[in-house]
A and B are shown apart, each in its own frame.
Chain A
Amino acid sequence: MKLQLDNVAFAYDNKKDVFTGISLSIETGDLLCLLGPNGAGKTTLFKTLLGLLKPQLGQIFLNERNISDWSRKKLAHFMGYVPQSHIPPFPYSVMDIVLMGRTAHLRNYASPNRQDKKIAEGSLETLGISYLRKANYAEISGGERQLVLIARALTQQPQFLVLDEPTSNLDFGNQVKVLNCIKILANQGLGVIMSSHFPDDAFQYATKVALLKDGQIQRRGTPEEVLTEENLRQIYNVDIKIAIAYSGNGEGHRVCIPVVA
């Protein structure tokens, strides 16, 4: 399955365009990492992609079909969203939150049944957080909350997963845990689109990278093609060196090292 953005532009109410001429495509099994400085419009781009915001120009296609007039329900069958986590106003349990992923599959008057609960439990198991099922979602750690939101998106059983900075506000260990989970999901055949502030994430996990700056996709391609010292300097306005680090088994990994003045 293929998700395609064709020449998409968006602006909030007659203000300056947040972005224009965005064309991207991603297939199931891909892991696309979107990099860009603060305020580049990554979140807005995701919301447009998910149909939460209507683009001023351009179209979004799912398997060659324009999704502009699809219902919320239909869209939710194909695309799951993992927003930056926030605490809901009521003390829901983790299971309550994850079960809400079934919304698109339920009739309007229905609530989740045993089958839905099994699917939700399966998602928790996939991410290794079954022990959290009865915990209060407001009281677990940030990393756990991120995993719960991913579990909810999995419970939705979409083809594509859109994650908005899934590693922000997490400690190093939790970042690795969350990204490993995301990688496994992509290997299992989900199409993953995530934004990040760390080029290293793209080197380690992504199959595709896109750089967003000044309302345009500046570069796109494989991490090795796109993440050059020159391109990174253009995006972040600092000098960055790329080194190759060798792990225990002799495998080389590209890493970014900022140049210290």
Chain B
Amino acid sequence: MDAMTAREEVKIERTVSKNKIKCKHLGSKIKSLILWSLPVLIFFIVLTQGRYPLSPSEIVILIYAKIFSLETSIDATTASILFDVRLPRILAAMLIGTALSVSGTAYQGIFKNPLVSPDILGVSAGAGFGAALAIMFSLGMWEIHLMSFAFGILAVVVTYAVSSRVKSGENTIIMVLAGILVGTIFTSLISFIKCVADPFNKLPAITFWLMGGLTSVTFDQLKLIIIPMIIGIVPLYILRWRLNVLSLGEEEAQSLGVNTSRLKGIVIISATLLTAAAVSVSGIIGWIGLVIPHLCRALVGPNYKILIPVSIVVGSSFLLVVDTLARVIMPLEIPLGILTSLIGAPFFMYLITRTRRGWK
């Protein structure tokens, strides 16, 4: 009798726990559905916003007509605003938001330092210098991208070379320092270029580009950055769980079976590709790479398996919202870099005063 009830109880318990697993599974599926639909939703809301408002029906008709090459009664100006101005800008904001936040998340993991961002390697400054140089010599769009990218990579390589020459236990800290130094050198070089650039047409272009903005982004520019972005983001996405192990430190990761120098190399190159691609289009937009990873950790915890997808979603949504604010709150457009700093820095102050659980 007793054995019977015991057996039944076990049975019931099993079905209950099975249902629990199912529920949990379903719950996480719903959660991820909500999460992934967030940027899509914001995308469609933001598409209607601007100095020249577009109604949802106009947008739907125009996109439908574009896809199936149909004639519409909507005038050409409206179509041009949607396809030549607003759509590329919105896509750029999403891509750049993704690039900066994912690279920031990755850098924080490999340097096991929650206070670093894409800027620390000097990549932003390096890429900025490359582009400024290209603008000064009146090079074409392709060359601007290429120079920006080349100097971004050069900055990391120098930072990496300097820090690996220092034999010290706290190599990651040395690397942060080296990055700051390299960044300083490139910032000075940018200032130098500003001094010698033609003050009537080159200087304003350089200055405005460096302030960080998406005002004049075109589809052609997007085509140029999409390739380095994919090359950068795919390895990070694939290897994301291993970033957890890497964040424990080199020796511990090695003893757990990770080839740390190879993994670190892949992560640094990928994250730098992302940063350089973003900088070459939009100039230096600060803070995204620092704030978004923390925001995501607060949302879903530190596990990189979830953290990387979430930083894609949150990063793209965040920059999209901020860029929309930049173009709609005032009659004059506010440069994006100013706005992200104004939002990012106070948020970061709040972060460091609020909690330090798990920080060294």
Interface 0/1 of A137-168, CB less than 8 Å to B: 11100000000000010001000000000000
Contact of A83 among B252, B260, B305, B357 (CB under 8 A): B252
- With contacts A77-B257, A83-B255, A109-B238 known, is A100 near B248, CB below 8 A? yes
Task: Evaluate contact between A110 and B241: CB separation under 8 angstroms.
Answer: yes
Task: Evaluate contact between A91 and B252: CB separation under 8 angstroms.
Answer: no
Residue of A nearest to B250 (CB): A52
Residue of A nearest to B261 (CB): A72
Chain B contacts of A72 at CB under 8 A? 254, 257-260
Q: In chain A, residues 96-135, which have Cβ atoms closer than 8 Å to a Cβ of chain B?
A: 96, 100-101, 103-104, 106, 108-112
Interface 0/1 of B242-264, CB less than 8 Å to A: 10110111011111111110000
Task: Evaluate contact between A92 and B302: CB separation under 8 angstroms.
Answer: yes
Task: Evaluate contact between B256 and A104: CB separation under 8 angstroms.
Answer: yes
Task: Evaluate contact between A90 and B114: CB separation under 8 angstroms.
Answer: yes
Query: Bound state CA distance, A71 and B247, in angstroms?
Result: 20
Task: Evaluate contact between A76 and B255: CB separation under 8 angstroms.
Answer: yes
Query: Bound state CA distance, A111 and B241, in angstroms?
Result: 6
B314 CB to nearest chain A CB (Å) = 17
Chain B contacts of A28 at CB under 8 A? none
Chain B contacts of A50 at CB under 8 A? 255
B56 CB-CB contact with A under 8 Å: no
A62 CB to nearest chain B CB (Å) = 15
Task: Evaluate contact between A100 and B256: CB separation under 8 angstroms.
Answer: yes
Task: Evaluate contact between A91 and B251: CB separation under 8 angstroms.
Answer: no
Chain B contacts of A88 at CB under 8 A? 112, 247-249, 358
A40 CB to nearest chain B CB (Å) = 19
Contact of A103 among B245, B249, B302 (CB under 8 A): B245
Contact of B302 among A51, A79, A91, A108 (CB under 8 A): A91
Q: In chain B, residues 317-349, which have Cβ atoms closer than 8 Å to a Cβ of chain A?
A: none
Chain A contacts of B256 at CB under 8 A? 76, 81, 100-101, 103-104, 152, 156
Query: Bound state CA distance, A93 and B302, in angstroms?
Result: 9
- With contacts A89-B114, A96-B244, A96-B302 known, is A138 near B358, CB below 8 A? yes
Chain A contacts of B357 at CB under 8 A? 91, 136, 138-139
Chain B contacts of A137 at CB under 8 A? 358
Q: In chain A, residues 52-89, which have Cβ atoms closer than 8 Å to a Cβ of chain B?
A: 52, 71-73, 75-77, 79-81, 83, 86-89
Chain A contacts of B248 at CB under 8 A? 88, 100
Query: Bound state CA distance, A236 and B302, in angstroms?
Result: 44
A47 CB-CB contact with B under 8 Å: yes
A13 CB-CB contact with B under 8 Å: yes
B78 CB-CB contact with A under 8 Å: no
Chain A contacts of B302 at CB under 8 A? 90-92, 96
B215 CB-CB contact with A under 8 Å: no
Chain B contacts of A73 at CB under 8 A? 257-259
B360 CB to nearest chain A CB (Å) = 6
Chain A contacts of B238 at CB under 8 A? 108-109
Contact of A87 among B108, B251, B358 (CB under 8 A): B358
Query: Bound state CA distance, A96 and B248, in angstroms?
Result: 12
Task: Evaluate contact between A81 and B255: CB separation under 8 angstroms.
Answer: yes
Interface 0/1 of B206-239, CB less than 8 Å to A: 0000000000000000000000000000000011
B142 CB to nearest chain A CB (Å) = 33
Query: Bound state CA distance, A47 and B254, in angstroms?
Result: 11
Chain A contacts of B359 at CB under 8 A? 89
Chain B contacts of A91 at CB under 8 A? 297, 301-302, 357-358
Chain A contacts of B253 at CB under 8 A? 103
A50 CB to nearest chain B CB (Å) = 6
B49 CB-CB contact with A under 8 Å: no
Chain B contacts of A89 at CB under 8 A? 108, 112-114, 247, 358-360
Chain B contacts of A47 at CB under 8 A? 251
Chain A contacts of B108 at CB under 8 A? 89
Task: Evaluate contact between A100 and B358: CB separation under 8 angstroms.
Answer: no
B167 CB-CB contact with A under 8 Å: yes
A120 CB to nearest chain B CB (Å) = 13
- With contacts A109-B238, A111-B305, A136-B357 known, is A92 near B255, CB below 8 A? no
Interface residues of A (CB under 8 A from B): 13, 47, 50-52, 71-73, 75-77, 79-81, 83, 86-93, 96, 100-101, 103-104, 106, 108-112, 136-139, 152, 156
Interface residues of B (CB under 8 A from A): 108, 112-114, 167, 238-242, 244-245, 247-249, 251-260, 297, 301-303, 305, 357-360
The 3 closest A-B pairs by CB, nearest first: A104-B257, A76-B257, A91-B358
A89-B113, A103-B256 are known; give 20 further A-B pairs, CB within 8 A: A52-B251, A52-B254, A71-B259, A73-B259, A81-B255, A83-B255, A89-B360, A91-B358, A92-B244, A92-B358, A96-B303, A101-B256, A103-B242, A103-B245, A103-B253, A108-B239, A108-B242, A111-B240, A111-B241, A156-B257
